[in-house]
């Protein structure tokens, strides 16, 4: 796999056609959030162990249907457009990137593997890695693949909850992991779209993991936190407990459901429903005044009309409450009900809907906040938004991969799969 270096166009060159000069001592880190509504690209510079913002770009997404790739060529074109926009801002060319994946094909589950030594001895790093690899050797359906292996904890001679058993003497070592799986074909479609856009894929990363990497500090993960990435056609969730990932799944409600409900309830076109949702929508409905009205756009053979704003927000509240009810089920499923001391972190464009944090706190009975990226120097104000968090996190993930490769070499298939 190629490692991208920073290159800048000469003043005589027009556009981004040919990029030549490299800048010594820095590496390029790029992340691509190929969403079903918007495709976003963020480019960062890895300077030593520090990250600096270079550029970003976005494009209207095409080629998606219900969170799945329906037209690979159009998805590739959206990626190209977003990358070119980011390159023009940054002044650097992108050769490879980390790309996000998510949607309804994601499913996570726990697994473990135990090994009994012939006699008591100290645990080495190699034996830890071996135990993790063995715990990941599961039988999957022919059309599914493992996307991430997420170590949770080790059990040493029957004592659970050990995060790093290196140097401990024991007779029996057990590795506990959470495996995130996805449909092989869906992931390959995204990778192929990247290749069609002339980009090498450094890694495919589950999008809420990337969002958590950008917006959640390690100490917050250790106290218990959930990250909810609410996209237009998919909602993805990860839950952390004691710095261990305990759940990763996709939920059946997304921003698209809210828009379709408004279109159906107010008898308007889908595009008008999306505009009404973004401009006038809020949850819960009690946040809107009793006498407040909105104008529903005119349709063929019909004039525009006024409707109470509360009617719009009644619709949005019902579906938003359902979304967080699904989140509550997943939190309870892993025994974290009322145990998320850091609450929930919301990312994705739908998070910008007025009152979403209040609705999350009402249904989940814990604090809620917007997930905003941290840890990148010179990050512009436009990217301090939950709709950009995943893209920034993917670029940060790319930088971490490159930094780890510089520090030490690891087994080829393991490095990109483990992020703690």
Q: What pLDDT is attached to residue 96?
A: 94
206 CB-near residues (< 8 Å, 6+ apart): 100, 101, 102, 106, 147, 148, 180, 182, 236, 238, 248
Q: Phi-psi category of 63—alpha, beta or left, where left has phi over 0 and alpha has psi -120 to 50?
A: left
Q: In angstroms, what is the C-alpha Rg of the chain?
A: 23
Domain boundaries, the chain: 5-104+185-209+373-415, 107-181, 218-370
Length of the chain: 420
Q: How far is CA 247 from CA 150, 272, 366, 370, in A?
A: 10, 36, 18, 20
Q: What is the CATH number of domain 218-370?
A: 3.30.420.40
Sheet containing strand 368-370, strands side by side: 159-162, 144-156, 169-183, 107-122, 244-251, 235-241, 225-230, 344-347, 368-370
The angle formed by the CA atoms of residues 295, 347 and 364, to the nearest 5 degrees, is 90
Q: Which of 148, 104, 151, 145 is nearest to 131 (CA)?
A: 151
Q: Could you read off the pLDDT tens digit of each residue along the chain, which spans 420 residues?
A: 334 444 333 333 334 444 423 445 678 999 999 988 899 999 999 988 889 999 999 999 999 988 889 999 999 999 999 999 999 999 999 999 999 999 999 999 999 999 899 999 999 999 999 999 999 999 999 999 999 999 999 999 999 999 999 999 999 999 999 999 999 999 999 999 999 999 999 999 999 999 999 999 999 999 999 999 999 999 999 999 988 999 999 999 999 999 999 999 999 999 999 999 999 999 987 777 778 889 888 777 677 789 999 999 999 999 999 999 999 999 999 999 989 999 999 999 999 999 999 999 999 999 999 999 999 999 999 999 999 999 999 999 999 998 887 665 444 433 333 343
Taking the C-alpha atoms of residue 48 and residue 226, their distance in angstroms, rounded to an integer, is: 31
- Other beta carbons within 10 angstroms of residue 12's beta carbon come to 6
Taking the C-alpha atoms of residue 292 and residue 281, their distance in angstroms, rounded to an integer, is: 12
Query: Which alpha helices (DSSP H) does 69-206 contain, by range?
Result: 72-90, 125-135, 184-196
Tell me phi and psi for residue 46, to 5 degrees: -95, 105
Residue tagged 């990932």 (tokens): 245
Beta strands in 15-105 (DSSP E): 21-34, 38-47, 50-60, 64-65, 68-69, 96-101
Q: What pLDDT is attached to residue 319?
A: 96
The angle formed by the CA atoms of residues 197, 64 and 216, to the nearest 5 degrees, is 80
Domains 5-104+185-209+373-415 and 107-181 share a fold: no
Taking the C-alpha atoms of residue 135 and residue 154, their distance in angstroms, rounded to an integer, is: 11
Q: How far is CA 112 from CA 109, 139, 331, in A?
A: 10, 13, 21
What is the distance of C-alpha 60 from the center of its chain? 18
Q: What pLDDT is attached to residue 416?
A: 39
CB distance 293 to 314 below 8 Å: no
Tell me phi and psi for residue 149, to 5 degrees: -110, 115
Q: What pLDDT is attached to residue 408?
A: 54
Q: What pLDDT is attached to residue 242?
A: 85
Q: In angstroms, how far apart are the furthest CA atoms of the chain?
A: 84
The CATH classification of domain 107-181, taken from the options 3.30.1490.110, 1.10.3720.10, 3.40.50.720, 3.40.50.150: 3.30.1490.110
Taking the C-alpha atoms of residue 185 and residue 118, their distance in angstroms, rounded to an integer, is: 43
Tell me phi and psi for residue 25, to 5 degrees: 85, 10
Taking the C-alpha atoms of residue 200 and residue 191, their distance in angstroms, rounded to an integer, is: 8
Q: Which of 107, 96, 104, 99 is nearest to 145 (CA)?
A: 107
CB distance 43 to 398 below 8 Å: no
Tell me phi and psi for residue 130, to 5 degrees: -65, -45
Q: How far is CA 20 from CA 9, 13, 286, 414, in A?
A: 6, 10, 58, 33
DSSP annotation of 151: E
Q: What is the CATH number of domain 5-104+185-209+373-415?
A: 3.30.420.40
CA atoms within 13 A on the CB side of 409: 2
Taking the C-alpha atoms of residue 403 and residue 420, their distance in angstroms, rounded to an integer, is: 15
């Amino acid at each position: 796999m190629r490692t991208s270096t920073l290159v800048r166009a000469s003043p005589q060159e027009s556009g981004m056609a040919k990029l030549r000069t490299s800048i010594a001592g820095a590496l390029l880190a790029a992340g691509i959030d190929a969403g079903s509504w918007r495709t976003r690209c963020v480019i960062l510079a890895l300077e030593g162990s520090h990250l600096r913002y270079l550029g970003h770009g976005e494009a209207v997404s095409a080629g998606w249907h219900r969170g799945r790739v329906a037209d690979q060529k159009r998805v590739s074109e959206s990626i190209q457009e977003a990358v070119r926009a980011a390159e023009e801002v940054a002044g650097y060319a992108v050769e490879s990137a980390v790309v996000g994946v998510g949607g309804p094909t994601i499913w996570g589950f726990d697994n473990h593997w135990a090994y009994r030594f012939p006699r008591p001895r100290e645990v080495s790093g190699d034996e830890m890695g071996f135990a993790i690899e063995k715990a990941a050797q599961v039988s999957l359906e022919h059309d599914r693949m493992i996307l991430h292996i997420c170590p949770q904890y080790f059990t040493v001679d029957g004592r659970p909850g050990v995060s790093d058993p290196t140097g401990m003497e024991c007779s029996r070592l057990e590795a506990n992991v959470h495996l995130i799986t996805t449909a092989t074909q869906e992931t390959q479609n995204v990778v192929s779209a990247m290749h069609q856009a002339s980009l090498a894929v450094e890694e495919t990363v589950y999008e809420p993991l990337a969002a958590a990497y950008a917006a959640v500090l390690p100490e917050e993960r250790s106290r218990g936190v959930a990250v909810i990435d609410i996209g237009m056609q998919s909602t993805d969730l990860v839950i952390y407990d004691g710095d261990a990932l305990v759940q990763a799944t996709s939920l059946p409600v997304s921003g698209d459901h809210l828009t379709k409900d408004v279109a159906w309830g107010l008898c308007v076109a889908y595009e008008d429903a999306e505009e009404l949702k973004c401009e006038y929508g809020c949850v819960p409905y009690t946040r809107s005044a009793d006498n407040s009205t909105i104008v529903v756009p005119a349709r063929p053979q019909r004039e525009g009309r006024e409707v109470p704003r509360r009617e719009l927000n009644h619709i949005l509240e019902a579906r938003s409450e359902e979304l967080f009810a699904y989140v509550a089920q997943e939190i309870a499923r892993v025994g974290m009900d009322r145990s998320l001391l850091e609450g929930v972190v919301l990312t994705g464009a739908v998070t910008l809907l007025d009152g979403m944090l209040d609705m999350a706190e009402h249904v989940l009975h814990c604090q809620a906040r917007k997930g905003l990226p941290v840890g990148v120097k010179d990050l512009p104000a436009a990217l301090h938004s939950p709709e950009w968090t995943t893209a920034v996190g993917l670029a940060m993930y790319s930088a971490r991969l490159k930094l780890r490769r510089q520090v030490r070499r690891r087994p080829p298939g393991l490095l990109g799969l483990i992020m703690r």
